Each structure stands twice: as C-alpha cells, then as structure tokens.
Amino acid sequence: MNSHTEQIRAEARRLLESGEVSVVIGYAPGSTPARATPVFVRKPEDAERLFWSPACASNLALYVREQAARGKVAVVAKGCDARSIVTLIQEKQLRREDVHVIGVACSGVVDAGRLASAGVDEGKLKSLEAGGGALVADCGDGPAELQREAVLKRACLFCDTPVPPLWDVVVGEAAAPSPARDGVLPEDLDARREFWAEQFAKCVRCYACRQVCPACYCSECFTDRLPVGWVSKRIAGPENWMYHTTRAFHMAGRCVGCGECERVCPAGIPIQTLMRRMAEEVDGLFGYRAGMDPDAEPVLATYRDDDDGPAG
Amino acid sequence: MDRLLPKAALKDWLEWASARYHLLGPVESEDGSRAFAPLSQDRLPVLDNRRSCLPPKEAVLPSCETLFTFDPGDGEPRLLPAGGEFAPTLMLGMKPCDVRSLEVLDRVFLDGRFQDPYYAARRGSLVTVAYVCESKRWSCFCSSVGDPVEWSLAADVALTDVGDGYLASANTSAGEELLGCPAFREPSADDLARRDVVWNALREAAEPFDPEAVAAAVDWEEPAWDAVAEKCIGCGVCSFLCPTCTCFDIQDETIGGGRVERFRVRDTCQFCDFTKMGHGHNPRPSRRERVRQRISHKFKYIVRQCGICGCVGCGRCVELCPVNADLRGVLSEIVKENGCESISA
Amino acid sequence: MADTQEYSGTALTEAQSSSGDWEPRILGILCNWCSYAGADLAGSARLLHPPNVRIIRVPCSGRVDPQFVLKGFMRGFDGVLVSGCHPGDCHYAKGNYYARRRLTLLTRFLETMGIPRERFQFQWVSASEGARWAESVREMTERIRKLGPFQGVGRPVPLLIPVAATRDEPRELEVKAQ
C-alpha cells in the first residue's frame, strides 16, 4: 500500500470520526488495476475502502454539488478536480466552507481504454503503480515501465496544474509540469472543417461527455429543450456538430481540462482538443484560466472597457 | 456441414461472396478501435476476440432511421415510406454474443402479434457468419449467461480458428450455399479436434453465474440500487452500446418545402427525461429508479415477456462505463443479499 | 434519404438548386435600437444594397447567444452577420460589452472549427448610420460571393445495410398482425 493511500485513509477516518463531514468522496479499486471507481464513505471503518493509484481517473468534483446540499463533504481531488471545485464556488453552486478538499499532487492518470493500443493486456494486469515520475505495470512477467504518452489520459499530457490550487490538506508532491502541445488539429481551415465533420460523424449522442463533466450541471440542458429545437434528437453529422460546438461554448472559461469527456467517449472523439482550443482562446483574449481563483469573476459574466472588439 | 478455409484463402472467399452479398465485417480504424463496416479487397476484416465498439444492432436497428416522409405536394399530399428493398448483406465476424443479440432483438421486434416492418426488412436481408472467439477478454461473461458455442451455431456459418485455417460449420441452407465456394476444402480429423478444444475453452464460465438465480433475486427494494445510483452519472453508454438495448424515440421534423420527416432515433431509459410525462410528472425521478429499471428489465422482465435473458455477456458496459460500475459486481451483490449461496449454476 | 441517416439537404440548399445560380445567403442578427434602425434608414434613404442578408431582430446584441451563429452555419447559411450599438451607446447600457467578449471569442472559435473569420462579421452600426449599413452589406455579400458557398458542417453517416431499390409510389405500410 502506498503512502498516498495511507494518508487519504487517515484523513478520511479523522474527518468522519470527528463528524466534520458527512461523507468522503474518494476512489476504490476497480475491476482491474487500471481502473478505479468512485466510493462514498460515511463510516470511519469504511475508510479502508479508499485508495490512490494512477488508475484514479474520474473527476470526483462531479458529485460534490449534489452531496454538499446535504451537509459538508470531503473529496479526494487531483489538480484538475480541484479546479472544477473552484469553478463551482465561483458560480455559487457550492460554498467553500461546505467542502473539505483532500488534494493529491498527481503526475497523470491512466486511460484504461488506451492500454490495448499500447500493447498492455488489461486482463493480465496484476499491478499498476507510479513512482519517481514513472508508470510501472506488471502483467505477470514482472514490472515493466509504461510509456506515459501511450497510456495516460491524453489531457494529462497537456496538464499544467499537477498540484491542486485549492486544498485543505494535500498529499504527495508532483514534478514540475512540461505540458505537450496537442498536434491533432490540422492547420488548414478546410482540413479542420473536414476533420471535425469526420469526428462528429462518429458521435452516438450518448451524452457521456456532458454527464461526466462537473461543469455541466444545468437541470435542463439545451439539448433537452425540444420545443425550442436548438438541436434535434436526430443523430446525424450536422446535429452532432451543433451539440459539441454549443457545449464547447458553454464551457468557455469553465473547462478545466480534466479530460474526462474524452476518456469516457465510446467513439474516441478528441473532445479535449476542442475544449483546449477554446481555453487557449479565452486565455489569449482575456488572460483568464478556469478554476484557479475562487474569487475571480467568471470570464464571460464580466467585461472591460478596453476589451478587443470591432473597430469604431 | 463442416469445411475448412485456409487463412490465405479468406480473401478469395470474400471476393466470391461479394458477387452475391454486400459485405460487412469488423475493421480496425486508425485509433485502434473496431467497427462493423463495408468490406472490400482493400479493407479486410480482422477476426479476433476484440469486440466492435458499436454492436451489430446498428445494422438492423440503425441509431437514426427515417420511418416515412410527408410531402404536401401541390394540393396532393403523399406519404412516402422510407427504405425499400434492402441489399442482401453478409455480416462476417460476429462474435457469439453478437449473434445471440440478434436472437434477443428478434424476440422483441418479430415475435408476438406485431412485427416491426423496418426491422424485419433489414433483418430479412441479413446472413450471418460468426467468429468463435479463441479466448475471452477480462470483461466477457458470455459463458456465464448462456452457451456461446450454441449461440454461434444459430448463425448461418460459424468460423473457428484452428491454426492455419478456419473451420466453418454451416447451420442453415444459406450457410451451406456460402460454403459452396471453391476456396473451401474438407477438414481433417485434426482440424475438428482443434475446433473442439476452442469450443470447450469458450464454454468454461469465467465467473460462475446463474442467470436464473439472478432473475429470481432481482427485487424492487435492493440496497444495490442506491449504491450504483450514487456513482452512476446517467449517461447512455451502457444502453447505446448494449447489443440488446432497443429503446427509441420517434420525432417529427420539418425538412423544408413543407415536407415533414418522421424518424426514430436511439434513446435510453438512463436519460432523466425518458419517462417524463406531458404534465411534468416523472415516474422514474432519480437515478435509483432508472438503474433499477435497466437491470431488472435486462435480467428479469424480458425473461418473463420474451422468454430469453436480455444480457449476452459481451462486456461492453463493463469496459465502457465511465465510472466502472461493474454490472457483474452489482449482480453478485444482489444475489448475495437475497441469500443465495453462490451465484454458480 | 436512402443511404444515409440525414435528410437530403437543408431547406436552403434545395431552394438554391431549384434556381440554378448560387446567391450568397447571409443570416443577419441586428439589435433593435441601433442596427435595425440603421438598416431601416438605409431602406428609406433608398441606398441600394444587395438583398442577400436575412435579418432577425433582437432587443440587444447582448441577446445574441453564440448558438444562434452556430445554428446559422449548421443550417447552411454562407455567412452570418451580427450588428449592434457602438460601445457606450447600448440602449440597455452594458449589453454590447458582454456581446463584444462573447462574439470576439466566437470569431476565433469558428476558426478552430474550420470556418474562416471572413464568413462571420461582427460590427457596430448606429441608428443614424444607414450608409454604413448599406456599405457593410455590399462588402460582406461580395466577400462571401468570392469565398463561394459554405460547404457545411456535417458529414452523412452511412447506413450499414444499403437500400438496393427505392419504392417510388406511396403505399400502405404493411404491418403483419397475427
């Protein structure tokens, strides 16, 4: 058992024994060593169910809003997850005093769906650990180092916040980030239009991307507004495009780049590429990054007199 | 009828078959994923135990399908049904779970007093060739819900990899016709023995699991529902990618020129508005009710209504669930809760 | 309709093919107090300008949800034009400031989607600027004409089992009841 796991369990036990929180939202081991599943711990003795490994891919901020309505919660949060919590606080969906953040400094989590293409047989995986910046897997033949670029959630390769910007307690240390550049999008505009047309033709409109996103908390999504008809239920190229581009705009200045949308997409659409481009434009235009400062005003809910705009 | 197809002759068989059928099979895309797609000499199928992301139901129950169009004409309105005659299609490389899923879909759409004409037309044009998996993936549990070998024999032809060739077993007259291709030859006793080894291995249950015990144990009040509902995010991955989930919505849309199109499109009981009524009431208001519904339907209600277990153990929901709410674990919990000794048959 | 999951075209493309020659079709979203009045002035002053802009009137440019623009491109418009009051002159005081942020961001985002910024115009036109309105419409129409028709945002999803022959004559749907 690694020291991250020990520290998380100890903190959870302490919080539950003292009654400071009603639930600790964390990770439990999943079906294979490459997977983790969310767990809601309410009794101190159940803190043993919590663990930490590079398989802890989910963004648990997703559950905080609903759970915090019933009382103070604690949540295990990576850098990106904590940024989601900051966004919720900024948007008045959550009060700072209602959440206790057990921050974890993270060097990247594994996307189990990428293992097969990286030559790792998930069925034979005995263990998956991170140590000294390296990912080590044992498929029965002894430990072997995995290539990070091949198995990490793609969003982790672009990460620049390995340490949560908001925490009540933080576990571990992370190396300084060296974010890669997303080279997926073609440079030529026509090629781009073709690229997205091809990608969105794959979309099955399962809405996993929307459901897994902590920032998508509208009780009625624009896609559900059928009488208005922004996007019909039709599963077809143009409608799929409309859904994704509108959602990308709804994420402008709010997406923290956790990459869950892309990880959960069953069709393999590079949604993070879209979201990351939007985040870069927002930063370029307004000097704003989502989820870093709970007291900052949401970027599109405010303006400056000297904002860029049309002439005259 | 058994024949052997040398692996090198697969291309020749496909070319011979392409004169009679439109060919579909599992192809590998750039990102490594699998999908059923039209085959050609440049696009050959990949036959192994990896499952396609989208299940074969896409062919007979497309995710979006026009039912008919209304054309006001010039004072002479007309109703134009969609589709027409479908091209005879050969779907190759269907895993045993894929083949079985068609059986489940047939019970829903073809049995009983009414046949779905859209499904029936596509299904009637389909000839199936199964590929019997050489081994199971970690997430597969086909042999726990049934006999995958028996399932494969419901296809027109079942292929088993026996080393340097595929042992082909024809199970229908259409299948026998397919084996009439000169690329096939008589199998040796060795070939047949190797096939039996593969078949026996496949039949071994990865996890002992009695679907009847599950059907009996699944109950309205279960702590398991709350546990799953707490982490379930309410997306449509499990149901959209499930080979036997059939729910659809029907929408009318104007498409210009005064014309209206009625189409049906995939839907899922996991969406929060699936059972929302016109007056605003929703009998399944929270994820607890919706999770309960799906699992109960899949393992209990459909057994009662159609006499067949709805799940084929393909494992897509297990591998693709965003939060790893492993169905096998949930069923284990339910059976244990209800005091069954174990879940073995 | 036969081999793909979409209907055969948007209303716009069909109307175009019936007329033969392509004319740029531009969606205009104009704020009521400044730009719409400015456009009206261009009309009453008989300032000649092309008819290619289809105008939707909104109370304020701040009402313009980027969704409107995206939907315009999705439905097949060749260009989209949003016009509002000059900064400082908004009838509702601040609406156009929010619009400025949103729509400048949209201009850049459209390029991520492969839509050149020449197809989306965002401008300020006041109620007295009839001539400026007419000039902007002339300029944008010519610009879109040179760019050519917008190629659309989606690609059809082919059905796995193709239709071999379509029935042309309408008939009763056969439903087998037993």
pLDDT in tens, B298-310: 999 999 989 899 9
- Kindly identify which residue of chain B lies nearest to residue C165, measuring between CA atoms: B85
- Which residues on C lie below 8 Å from A248 (Cβ)? 109
Task: Compute the nearest-CA separation of B87 from chain A (Å).
Answer: 22
Contact C153 A197 (CB under 8 A): yes
Task: Find the range with the poorest average confidence among A81-85, A297-301, B206-210, C120-124.
Answer: B206-210
Rounded to whole angstroms, the Cα distance separating B111 from B115 reads 7
Judged by DSSP in three states, A255 sits in: coil
Contact B324 A263 (CB under 8 A): no
Among A184, A187, A193, A300, which would you mutate to test the C interface (most chain C Cβ atoms within 10 Å of its Cβ)? A193
Q: For chain A, what is the mean pLDDT? A: 94
Among C61, C70, C90, which would you mutate to test the A interface (most chain A Cβ atoms within 10 Å of its Cβ)? C70
Q: Which residues pair with B22 in a beta bridge?
A: B89
Residue C103 pLDDT > 50, yes or no? yes
Contact C114 A193 (CB under 8 A): yes
> Do the Cβ atoms of A59 and A258 come closer than 8 Å?
yes
> Do the Cβ atoms of C25 and C55 come closer than 8 Å?
no
Residue C90 backbone class (left: φ over 0; alpha: ψ -120 to 50; beta: rest)? beta
Give mean pLDDT, residues C13-39. Answer: 82
Q: Which of A38-47, B74-83, C18-27 has the highest mean pLDDT?
A: A38-47
pLDDT band at A1 (very low <50, low <70, confident <90, very high): low
pLDDT at B222: 83
pLDDT at B192: 94
- The CA distances from residue C74 to A301, B78, B160, B256, in Å, are 26, 28, 47, 15
Degrees, nearest 5: CA angle A212-A138-A261? 15
Contact B266 A268 (CB under 8 A): no
Pairing of strands B22-28, B84-86: unpaired
Percentages (nearest 5) of helix, strand, coil residues in chain C:
40, 15, 45
pLDDT band at C178 (very low <50, low <70, confident <90, very high): very low
Q: Which chains touch B (3 or more CB pairs under 8 A)?
A: A, C
Task: Compute the nearest-CA separation of A114 from chain C (Å).
Answer: 25
> Which value, in Å, is the radius of gyration of the alpha carbons in chain C?
21
pLDDT band at C17 (very low <50, low <70, confident <90, very high): very low
| Token output for C155 | 């690609």
> Do the Cβ atoms of A200 and A235 come closer than 8 Å?
no
Residue C168 pLDDT > 60, yes or no? no
Give mean pLDDT, residues B190-214. Answer: 85
* pTM above threshold 0.80: yes
User: Does the beta carbon of C43 lie under 8 angstroms from any beta carbon of chain A?
Assistant: no
> Do the Cβ atoms of C74 and C113 come closer than 8 Å?
no
Q: Which residues pair with C58 in a beta bridge?
A: C31
Who contacts A279 (Cβ-Cβ below 8 Å, separation ≥6)? A252, A253, A255, A257, A289, A290
- Which residues on B lie below 8 Å from C161 (Cβ)? 22, 24, 59-60, 86-87, 89, 122, 125-126
**HSE value, Cβ hemisphere, 13 Å, CA-based, for A179:** 12
Q: Which of B90-104, B222-236, B329-343 has the highest mean pLDDT?
A: B90-104
Q: Which is it for the CA torsion A134, A138, A144, A149, positive or negative? A: negative
Within 10 angstroms of residue B7's Cβ, the number of other Cβ atoms is 13
Give mean pLDDT, residues A67-87. Answer: 97
Contact A235 C157 (CB under 8 A): yes
| Token output for A264 | 């959960």
Residue C123 pLDDT > 70, yes or no? yes
Q: How many residues does chain B have?
A: 345
> Do the Cβ atoms of C106 and C71 come closer than 8 Å?
no
Greatest Cα pair distance in chain C:
73
Task: Find the range with the poorest average confidence among A53-57, B28-32, C63-67, C90-94.
Answer: B28-32
Give mean pLDDT, residues B85-114. Answer: 93
Q: For chain B, what is the mean pLDDT? A: 90
Question: Where do the DSSP E strands lie in chain C?
Answer: 26-31, 53-58, 79-84, 120-124, 163-166
Query: Which residue, B337, B321, B135, is CA-closest to A31?
Result: B321
Judged by DSSP in three states, A171 sits in: strand
Rounded to whole angstroms, the Cα distance separating A173 from A170 reads 9
pLDDT at C166: 56
Give per-residue pLDDT as tens, A78-110.
999 999 999 999 999 999 999 999 999 998 999
Among B58, B235, B245, which would you mutate to test the A interface (most chain A Cβ atoms within 10 Å of its Cβ)? B235
- Which residues on A lie below 8 Å from C71 (Cβ)? 230, 242
Residue B85 pLDDT > 90, yes or no? no
> Do the Cβ atoms of B93 and B17 come closer than 8 Å?
no
Contact C173 B81 (CB under 8 A): yes
- The CA distances from residue B310 to B212, B228, B307, in Å, are 12, 20, 9
